[in-house]
Amino acid sequence: MVSRLEALIDSIGRLNGIGNPDSDAYQIRSPLLVKSFARAGKHETDSMGRRVFNSLLSGYKAGWFDVKLKIEGKSRAGLAPQDPLTSLLAVYGIKELGGIDNVVAFLRRALKDQSITKNTPLSYFTADTKPEEQ
């Protein structure tokens, strides 16, 4: 069974083109195009300040950690667990209705849950996180 958090990461990664070798997400191995806010030189970054990873696994793990902090309200993004999905997507640069609809459609299929909307609270995506993943 796919976890809700992983499906969320997969949906954003798909929108960012992680499966397309010509995409930025693929080239920097970062499904979420995670930005680096660390001091200069701590992480390798591209010209847009996005972290560059040595492997997709490393980029995925960093994305998992990043999105989890955000949806739990523990990041500088200013999100809270009761905020809607659209608030999180906006943090990752997904603000247009087409992109939002694409993510929602992916999540509905991946999680077999037609009740998911752009207004689904972020807490929904951590409901099935295992204790060892927290």
Ordered mean pLDDT values, 10 residues apiece, the chain (134 residues): 94 97 97 80 83 96 95 92 97 95 98 97 83 47
Q: How much is the pLDDT for 131?
A: 44
Q: How much is the pLDDT for 42?
A: 72
Concatenate the DSSP letters of all residues of 19-54 into one string.
T-TTSHHHHTT-TT-PBP-SPTTSS-B-TTSBB--S
43: which DSSP letter?
Answer: S
| pTM of model > 0.75 | yes
Q: How much is the pLDDT for 104?
A: 98
Domains of the chain: which residue ranges? 4-129
Q: How much is the pLDDT for 40?
A: 60
Q: How much is the pLDDT for 36?
A: 79
Q: How much is the pLDDT for 74?
A: 94
